[in-house]
Amino acid sequence: MHFRYSGEVWGIDKLGRVQHAGETMRAWITRALILTGLIGAVFAFHQSRNHRPTRITEATEKGILIIANGAEPETMDPQLATGVPEHHLFDALFEGLVATTPEDPDANGPGAATHWETQDFITWTFHLRKEGRWSDGTPLTAADFLFSFQRILTPALAGPYAPMLYPMLNAEEFNKGEVKDFTQVGAKALDDHTLQIILKGPAPYLPSMLKHYSWHPVPRHVIERFGKMTDRDTQWTRVGNLVGNGPFKLKEWRYTHSITVERNPLYWDAGIVKLNEIQFIPIVSDATEERAFRDGQIHATNTVPLSKLDYYREKEPEVFHIDPMLGTYFYRINVTKPPFNDKRVRKALTLAVDQETLIRNVLRGGQKPAVGFTPPGAGEGYETPGVLKYDPEEARRLLAEAGFPNGQGFPKFDILINTLESHRTIGEAIQEMWKKNLNIPVGVLNEEWNVYLKSQRTLDYQVCRAGWIGDYLDPYTFLSIWQTGDGNNNTGWSNARYDELMQASLREGESTRRMALLTEAELLLLDELPMIPLYWYVRAHLSRPEVKGLKSSLLEHRCYKAVYLEPQ
């Protein structure tokens, strides 16, 4: 409100105060100038943000690779780990007798051993390089491998991957406590740089097997500084303590944030290592991971959200990759809990899954229906028995025969998954199929990675999501995990005939007869079904053009010494 008094204009503000109109105008002008300045500052700030180098731009210039790595690793001890996130880390920190090659990560190249020989595929002699060193400068010798083999096989450690060493003479017997003297196991140090491994039967695939981290050396001189050989989760795996023999060494571990490794100058092939550091970022959400990639926070993802596959395939093919993998996505079944202890129930659940629809409508990444457990290409001369199919009528008949006609009386249960949107999406699709075809009540239960692994190991679940990537190129790597007591079985299933067939395959030297034994074992497995094969993997992921030399691997091996960054 304004009025005139003595020829001047006065006004009343909103609070009822009398003000000179000139003062009011000056106040408004001042406010307008301040507001304009603020708008300009905000605009300038956003312009500077838009032109500020991204995290990966700066990292590329410094030779630092930043990659997503799934969940936080459960452990940094190679003899206690079982997961793919740990595998990726161990490829940087440790190296076995045989190693990946820059040209082909699945090929068998020199590692801690320069070369090896065998006459009969039973007795193998490995010649360690004399310049081999741990990352603290301590010489690496054949005795380190003997210690490592003894440690993972000692029953008190309870190493989940101990069965990986069972092809070695008396390794299984030592691990089960039937042989007490480790000198009876088929591993001997002929001298400081010559290691002999004696197997229970011919294994031409041994070099491929030796690239798996369960065979890698671990540092006795560090482990025993922090406790006994079989003590679990001691301080030896912490930053400042962990010692490896790989192309990189542990620099920093910021829990749930990042694990950083830096170039190891004492690595035997350090001259060809181009990266200065690698940062492994634990991201359990594929949507968060994709957003971090889009915002320039990481060079490469571990996966791609199912909802974004078509977009990247069509709009940004230069960063989109689908690689073949030797792996199976499946559901474990806890056969110790009714009604899953009934084979007819397990078979009904399997036959009620429409794999083709799951792949076509949900996954959309070029996966193949798992008509058996072992994927094609697992071994020369092996053909996976393709006996599984979608048959909802037979599924309903079996369920009724087991005492649950039209699903009546079937107890509600959960599909246990670890945190990842794609696992939930798949779980919900299977949930709907079982509801539609069998009329049974199913939920989807999410747990964080470490909790999920514990639930799996302790059989605290009914049905559980799982995946298995081959550890070496042979069908035994897929079929061996279902043997009684295997650390990766985790279903409670046991079958004496199956165990006999698997053990016979280790002793059989003639390839055709050996493959026949493995085929018979898989047919038995697919009849008993302690698991439900869903599909055979491919790996969809995103990688920026700056990343060079990070080649695909059927077995998820990574040859980090071949990787380099090229600014675009």
Summarize pLDDT for 195-237 with one digit per residue, the tens.
Answer: 999 999 999 999 999 999 999 999 999 999 999 999 998 999 9
Residue 370 has pLDDT above 70, yes or no: yes
pLDDT of residue 4: 44
* Average of per-residue pLDDT across 342-368: 96
> What local confidence, expressed as pLDDT, does residue 17 receive?
47
Distance CA 396, CA 320 (A): 41
Q: Which two tokens mark 56?
A: 């990966």
Calculate mean pLDDT across residues 335-350.
Answer: 98
Q: How far is CA 436 from the centre of its chain?
A: 32
Helix (H), strand (E) at residue 415: strand 413-418
b/e burial code for range 236-245 (CB count within 10 A of at least 16 → b): bbeeebbbbb
Residues 6+ away with beta carbon under 8 Å from 496: 484
Q: Which band of pLDDT confidence, cut at 50, 70 and 90, is reported for residue 380?
A: confident
Report the distance separating Cα 414 and Cα 63, nearest Å: 45
Which pLDDT value is given to residue 420? Answer: 86
Query: pLDDT tens, 303-328?
Result: 999 999 999 999 999 999 999 999 99
The residue that leads in pLDDT, 5 or 515, is 515
Give the per-residue SS3 of 447-501. Answer: ECHHHHHHHHHCCCCCEEEEEEECCCCCCHHHHHHHCCCCCCCCCCCCCHHHHHH
pLDDT of residue 28: 55
Q: How many CA atoms lie within 13 A of 365 on its CB side?
A: 25
For residues 475 and 380, give the distance between their C-alpha atoms in angstroms, rounded to a whole number.
Answer: 9
Computed over every residue of the chain, the mean pLDDT equals 92
Predicted local distance difference test score (pLDDT) of residue 10: 45
**The listed CATH number (1.10.760.10, 3.50.90.10, 3.40.190.10, 3.90.1150.10) that belongs to domain 64-301+543-565:** 3.40.190.10
Residue 3 has a pLDDT of 41
Specify the pLDDT at position 6: 44
The dihedral sign for the CA sequence 451, 280, 140, 123: positive
pLDDT band (50, 70, 90) for residue 27? low
* Local confidence band at 2 (pLDDT 50, 70, 90 cut-offs): very low
pLDDT at 89 over 70: yes
Domain boundaries, the chain: 2-51, 64-301+543-565, 324-538
- Residue 48: pLDDT band with limits 50, 70, 90: very low
pLDDT bracket for residue 8 (50, 70, 90): very low
**pLDDT score at 509:** 85
What mean pLDDT do residues 365-382 have? 93
Q: DSSP states of 247-270 as a string? A: SEEEEEEETTTEEEEEE-TTSTTG
Question: At residue 42, does pLDDT exceed 60?
Answer: no
Q: If you average pLDDT over residues 110-127, what whole number do you get?
A: 97
Residue whose pair of structure tokens reads 């190249």 in the numeric block: 109
Q: Which residue has the higher pLDDT, 568 or 337?
A: 337
Q: How far is 494 from 477, CA to CA, in rounded Å?
A: 17
* 40 confidence band (pLDDT: 50, 70, 90): low
In the structure, what pLDDT confidence band is assigned to residue 9 with cuts at 50, 70 and 90? very low
Tokens describing residue 228: 């006994």
Sequence length of the chain is: 568
> Domain 324-538 belongs to what architecture?
Roll (3.10)
**What do you get for the CA distance between the two ends of the chain, in Å?**
63
pLDDT for the residue 419: 86
In this predicted structure, what is the pLDDT of residue 53? 82
What are 406-461's pLDDT values in tens digits?
A: 999 999 999 999 988 899 999 999 999 999 999 999 999 999 988 999 999 999 99
Average pLDDT over residues 167-186: 97
Give pLDDT, residue 26. Answer: 60
Q: What is residue 319's DSSP assignment?
A: T
pLDDT of residue 24: 53
pTM: 0.83
Q: Average pLDDT for residues 85-105, to the nearest whole number?
A: 97
